[in-house]
Structure 1
Amino acid sequence: MSSEAHDIIDLIRTKRDHGTLTTSQIDWMIDAYTRGYVEDSQMAAMAMAILLNGMGRPEIRDLTLAMIASGETMNFDALGKTTVDKHSTGGVGDKITLPLMPLVASFGVAVPQLSGRGLGHTGGTLDKLESIPGWRASLTNEEMFAQLRDVGGVICAAGSGLAPADKKLYALRDITGTVEAIPLIASSIMSKKIAEGTQALVLDVKFGSGAFMQDIAKSRELAQTMVDLGNDAGVRTSALLTDMHRPLGLAIGNANEVRESIEVLAGGGPADVVELTIALAREMLTLAGIPDADVEGALASGQAMDTWRKVIRAQGGDPDAALPVARETHVVHAERSGVLLEQLALPFGIAAWRLGAGRARASDPVQHAAGIDLHAKAGDAVVAGQPLFTLSADEPSRFARALEALEGAYAIGDASEYVSRGPLVAERIS
């Protein structure tokens, strides 16, 4: 960390005027902000300058390393296993971590999935798993190591000691309109992942209606920035650009997404969830030095399911317990026969959030049984009167606002009007 003192106002002016910050300046700024010497108002001005004027690759690397240096780092070398992690930029119905972690871990590599909670329309992995009675998200470092050694995989909350500068800056970006700044997104995600100490990392970077970055060109820029950061820091990193224009799978929520993940581990589940799980598992295992793993076989044989059950038990959960079911449901039926032309991810995500599946503030509770189950996907033929989707909530008063969010989000027409999307996995970036 730089001992040289700088003036934050000079640094803001430099960035405002399209200048480049030095390593010493960035180190000082992040340290001073973490300690409270640089104020939120000053960091907000800097975040806006970065949003408007960008940062070069060396600046983004320095920013990421400074955020890592603000806290503790982890090291899994003592495990004697290769560690590989996956990070998704989030979306609607994105439950891939749940089947993916046990699938990859079943091949003898260690998968430390430090995950987060949902905010807004994107669901959090920890919220989904907390639908399972007894399961706990918070583990000590000792418990995490023991579980990685004995079972091979863990999904848990990241400790508060990892990149505390990021936690502070993330909260500030959220209230100052600077969330979309690619240097800040990339350094936020990668500071935590590099501090976590994984040897290899696969990024699932989404684009489309339900994605954090809707534009594929922006998503590609973000993916390349993060891949460069990882590789510069000595973490073998690659990314898949994946389509989040439509919801992933048939379940959107918490408990119902766990149910769907278990179907995938049992050798079934929706085709798109299976496809993405397999694509990411192959990518992770290739980076971990097992390029010819029989991923499909591990799903079909129950090998991945066995690991799932061990992981859930290791964290206090009962893999056989009944998952919560909502008290009330509301079914929406097709008004005509034809083909389901569209099903936009973002409105469905917002509707599930309004049903109680998500939170508006970090402190809000989540209703684990709330959500949406789709009975048809875009491109499917439907007949008048058949169920299109079911809304679930504990309070029926929530249905009206959820249905408002879905106005114009789906349409039925003639087969000739249907426009298919491109492939689910659009590109690989390394």
Structure 2
Amino acid sequence: MKTIQKLGLAAALMALPSIGLAQEEEVVAALVPTDSVFILNTLLLIIGGFLVFFMAAGFGMLEAGLVRSKNVAMQCTKNIGLFSLASIFYYLIGYNLMYPLGTWAVDGWLSGVWGPGVMEAVGITADAADDYGYASTSSDFFFQVMFCAATASIVSGTLAERIKLWPFMIFTIILTSLIYPISASWKWGGGFLDAAGFLDFAGSTVVHSVGGWAALAGAIILGPRLGKYKDGKVTAFPGSNLTLATLGTFILWLGWFGFNGASQLAMGSVGDVADVGRIMVNTNTAAAGGAIGAMILTQIMYGKTDLTMVLNGALAGLVSITAEPLTPSIGAATIIGAIGGIIVVLVVPLLDKLKIDDVVGAIPVHLVCGIWGTIAVVFTNADATFGAQIYGIVVVGIFTFVVSGVVWLILKGVMGIRVSEEDEIAGLDMAELGMEAYPEFSKG
């Protein structure tokens, strides 16, 4: 009897793996489509988020290389400060204004409500079951906050070498908690621009033009650097470290693969993954086109190739393709980027004629090429119309420029935004920080 029982037990044990496997296959068949999509989408946002985060280093190095040595530490301080403030205030206010998290404050215009609900909305206190949508809510917040910080980084370079630290930080708080989230909600939050058919895949207007308009308002109110425009001539102020600026450009180029690629927001299907790959290719070739376009045009116009223009040309190509990196062919993406590079070379001297001092060229790159890239969507995406694209550009531009200008004027009247002539001549490193990035070589 014991022998029979043992044989029966052995047979049962032998059968268990197959029974368990069959049950497991049923469970996998039921769960994997949801679980795998959730995991892959979340992973895309996380990877994209830390790539866009690295763009903060790119902005920092680009600006540090393009300012004079006596202002390098100040630019580094501004960049780490603005990123930290953006991370905090986008969490406290901005994210909840930007997306319709349950209710609308003003339907189609302003999403979300202030209050403790924002903490659950970003997955800080939510249960796992509540955090189970197409992707992790926390990963979405992580990805979106990086875009917000990038918007503030655009402003930093334009106003370099003459703006006080703390007024700039206060403006950063207002930009990242109010100006950017409100205007972005009109498109990405399901607002009236989205309903009007305005298309902006990853933010040529929503991110880059917003930063450019804010920078333009600040540059006009702040005024040019001392000696920049004198006796009808433009004085060039060479950057302290073009090697560092080149490194910053390559870092930004790398980060843009996350900026555009992860803006697909999904890679849980064959189609989505294929689209992400196509976006990456178009993003890369647009940057290349922008660099070559600027390289050739500076050679033609000045008889020599200008490295700073080439660097900004690559960035211009990246901004130009950001509004629609999926639908163009590789050739079309290259042309869109090349036109962006050409635009930068033409707009930089135009700003000088208008006596608008943009230290790093952020206005031509992010504002003007942001406008170009948004218009260029019409040439490759059949769903885009000139009317809707121009409408979005104008609405966002007027709102951002006017509100930013008001904020800058208030800051100027209340606490002053510009350092003294003595401090500007000595350099903001010592005047504002009491330290220097290059203590042995900071007299230039």
Q: After TM superposition, is the score higher than 0.5? A: no
Higher relative contact order, chain-length normalized (CA < 8 Å, sep 6+): 2
Q: Which has the higher strand share?
A: 1
TM-score (norm 1): 0.27
TM-score (norm 2): 0.27
